[in-house]
Structure 1
Amino acid sequence: MADPRVLGIVLAGGAGTRLAPLTADRAKPAVPFGGVYRLVDFALSNMANSGILKICVLTQYKSHSLDRHITTTWRTSTMLGNYVTPVPAQQRLGPHWYTGSADAIFQSMNLINDEDPDLVVVVGADHVYRMDLRQMIAHHIEYGAGATVAALPVARQDAKAFGIVGVGSDGRSIQNFLEKPAEPPPLPDSPDESFASMGIYVFDTKVLTDGLRRDAEDDESRHDIGGSLVPLLVGDGGAQAYDFLTNQVPGQTDRDHGYWRDVGTIDAYFDAHMDLRTVEPMFNLYNSRWPILTHTPALPPAKFVHDNGDRVGRAIDSLVSNGVIVSGGLVRESVLSPGARINSWSLVERSVIMHNTTVGRHAVVRDAILDKNVLVPEGAQVGVDKEYDRARGFVVSPGGITVVGKGQEVPQ
């Protein structure tokens, strides 16, 4: 198939309850990440950099900020027929919302019918990674697959937390697809590893639409792509796995080759941020050959002021966004989003500080995530005493990360 017509679908309707309170006022794909991005920007950047420029983003849960971000940021050339458009749940097939990821696409079948693509690429909106989807499409075409699932080798002892792709002796023909199995099937050439599904799929259009109709008619189905649709297609014998580690992205480093993170929990989200701010990051945001695209607000450069005794404005091993002012405070191993203000004699350490949050004088923030517009008053502490944080009503993750929700003022 030469130059197939490709439609991209981004599944962005998830509630993201495990990321609460960051998802109390927004959809999971709209959660800020890495200072200036939203989680959805990674999926959309991979599609755009791969030349997939007709993209529908299926939304549902608390979608306003996500819709606004997409419509104001992701604008392409309409003259060339390109678009990135948010598509809310429309109840086209009756008075019910999406019941799963497969049902979301089935209820939005008009998008596929209108575009009439040869292939449909479906990705989730809440993972951090780089991927040249053209290479996966080429693999899909080469082996004549009806459906191709991107998979990442993981240690078998860790595989119980994933959807697992069991493959035949050729290493790519899918024999079974198992959700969080107690005994994950090993890879043919690596018995200590299993293939974990990444939630990235390529479908022949007819295979997808026929499969979605059959799944919709099954009252026992959960109507998910991984849990329902892919096992159905595996039974037809036309499903293939694509090894993500074979994917080569321009400008990648040895450290971030094969990097993929599911940031669906507070601890995973925090750890992914800590990946970013090291000297040699696990995920390199500075790859200009495969940029992560977004809109950055019109704010002035970051500013560091005061150098008088113990009143020195500085940031070490940290990412600092535009509009930030570090005024006589110390920032270590942290990520600061646009407009954050760190005042004199304060300490911010191993933390994620989101947009327009203020840390007052002599305050301490450690091992914490502060959402947008949070106020930490003078002398207050966050993340220092976890029991005290819980007593004040803050979420503390199993890994010991304190989270302060959007717009809150930290009590003294």
Structure 2
Amino acid sequence: MRFQEDSIDCVDFILKKDEVLTVILGGGKGTRLLPLTEKRSKPAVSFGGKYRLIDIPISNSLNSGFEKIFVLTQFNSYSLNRHVHRTYASNSIHQKSFVEIIAAEQTVSSVNWFEGTADAVRKVLPYIREQLPKYVLILSGDQLYNMDLADFMQNHLIDPETEISVACNAVPEDQVYGLGIVQTGVGGFIQEFIEKPQDLSQVESCRQADGKYLANMGIYIFNTRTLIEVLEDQSMTDFGKEILPKAIREKKVKAYNYDGYWEDIGTIRAFYDANLMLTDDIPKFNLYLEKTPFYTRARSLPPTKINNAIVNRALISEGTILDHCEIHRSVIGVRQFIARGSKIYDSVIMGLNHYGGFDRKSGKIPNGIGQDCEIRNAIVDKDCAIGTGVKLLNRNQYTEYEDEFVRIRDGIIVVPRHTKIPDGYEI
């Protein structure tokens, strides 16, 4: 599997890339992203019209020259497993390259499922050992960033004493409460690690000159020997909460300051904002960089068809049909159909797995967005059927609300997957 020529300048480092194994954590239950995660894991959620969140870390690893990848899955994993298999299973050229799924399993040595980030890696150590890696690169399956992981690895190798590297991103003080905050010393080695501080006084010593704080991105490099050592204590199940605070007292743990865009997709608001950010003139997370493309499943879909539609600041995915409608600052997924007279504002309309029928004489609501609908500040999940004259506006400005057709989270209307909204419904 070869997606791109080597982008690593250091010859000595090129020889070591086969000694790197990438392990991508498939995520937990993702309860804060409900209802999008009711029937799928968080990394399997659609993003940007045509991608899945899992495509981001896999693409970062492949673009950086690290082509031996394990994806660890557990909760609601069917959709994620199927996508990874369909997209990345081909391996006919480079036999040493692979993207493989390792699902949680009960074994003779353990009858429990993955109980945390560190526990997940601990339980797959036998498979890691089989690959004989010198370094293990650990990524999260549900974050947005475009990082040269080869540069991260080079930073790890500069000082031969380094045993663990932690990728960090500078964040403002209003974001420190949900993250692990680090303080660095000479040579960039981490002196202090505070996981999800309760108040700013706990991290006052970590404040940088610009008022920001270095936060753990959940992206790590371990020397394999070190990884095995820190996972020996079976009681420690999480890297951020337990492994790293102990490791900085016993090991050489180095911070790598990544100054690009990074977003941990943890809530409906974060997911919504990240999608609409893609419609900016120059988005912080840019899908249009030729040297670092994001890969996803190849679909044999027809071109987008636009029939007398108004489209302004939007991403329109392939196979979409826009018929005498208006799209403003929105993301439209694959195969989506938006009928005459409908208006979409500031919304994420995910795609369809099947076009379905457009004949309303059948009495069935066809897939897609029906005629004369108005949708604002909403997320419409995949394979929904929206009837004629539906108004999704949140007129009462609910922050939280729920009925049989929609749920409102963080003030954003969410239409769960496979929902059929009848003609004339309004909120």
Q: Structure 2: how far apart are the matches of 1:263 and 1:188? A: 24
Q: Which amino acid aligns with 2:59?
A: S
The alpha-carbon deviation at position 213 of structure 1 amounts to 1.0
The aligned residue for residue 409 of structure 2 is: 397
The aligned residue for residue 99 of structure 1 is: 115
The aligned residue for residue 232 of structure 2 is: 213
Q: 1:200-279 counterparts in 2 under 5 A?
A: 200-214=219-233, 216=234, 218=235, 221=236, 223-245=237-259, 258-279=260-281
Q: Structure 1: how far apart are the matches of 2:62 and 2:396? A: 42
The alpha-carbon deviation at position 26 of structure 1 amounts to 0.5
Q: Does 1:372 align with 2:391?
A: no
The alpha-carbon deviation at position 289 of structure 1 amounts to 1.0
Q: Which amino acid aligns with 1:314?
A: I
Distance 1:191 1:339, change over 3 A: closer
The aligned residue for residue 349 of structure 1 is: 345
Q: Which amino acid aligns with 1:327?
A: D
Residue 389 of structure 2 aligns to a residue in which SS? Answer: coil
Q: Which amino acid aligns with 2:419?
A: Q
Distance 1:391 1:295, change over 3 A: closer
The aligned residue for residue 410 of structure 1 is: 421
Per-residue CA deviations over 1:118-168 (Å, capped at 9, x if unaligned) read 000000010011001111111111123110000011123432221111222
The alpha-carbon deviation at position 410 of structure 1 amounts to 1.7
The alpha-carbon deviation at position 191 of structure 1 amounts to 6.0
Q: Answer yes or no: is the 8 Å Cα contact 1:171–1:187 preserved in 2.
A: no
The aligned residue for residue 77 of structure 1 is: 91
Q: 1:63-74 counterparts in 2 under 5 A?
A: 63-74=77-88
Per-residue CA deviations over 1:25-73 (Å, capped at 9, x if unaligned) read 1010000000110000000000000011110000000101100111110
Q: Answer yes or no: is the 8 Å Cα contact 2:164–2:251 preserved in 1.
A: no
Percent identical residues: 34
Q: Answer yes or no: is the 8 Å Cα contact 1:9–1:58 preserved in 2.
A: yes
TM-score where L is the length of structure 1:
0.90
**Structure 2 unaligned blocks of 5 or more:** 1-11, 353-366
Question: What count of residue pairs does the alignment treat as equivalent?
Answer: 387
Q: Answer yes or no: is the 8 Å Cα contact 1:186–1:193 preserved in 2.
A: no
Distance 1:299 1:91, change over 3 A: same
Q: Which amino acid aligns with 2:261?
A: Y
1:167 to 184, 200, 208: 184
The alpha-carbon deviation at position 228 of structure 1 amounts to 1.3
Q: Which amino acid aligns with 1:303?
A: K
Q: Structure 1: how far apart are the matches of 2:390 and 2:419? A: 13
Q: Structure 2: how far apart are the matches of 1:31 and 1:160? A: 25
The alpha-carbon deviation at position 101 of structure 1 amounts to 0.6
The alpha-carbon deviation at position 262 of structure 1 amounts to 1.1
Q: Answer yes or no: is the 8 Å Cα contact 2:36–2:417 preserved in 1.
A: yes
Q: Structure 1: how far apart are the matches of 2:282 and 2:138? A: 31
Per-residue CA deviations over 1:343-389 (Å, capped at 9, x if unaligned) read 01111110000112511111111100000111111001113425689
**Structure 1 unaligned blocks of 5 or more:** 246-257, 307-312
What value does the CA root-mean-square deviation take over the aligned residues?
A: 1.7
Distance 1:43 1:386, change over 3 A: farther
The alpha-carbon deviation at position 185 of structure 1 amounts to 4.3
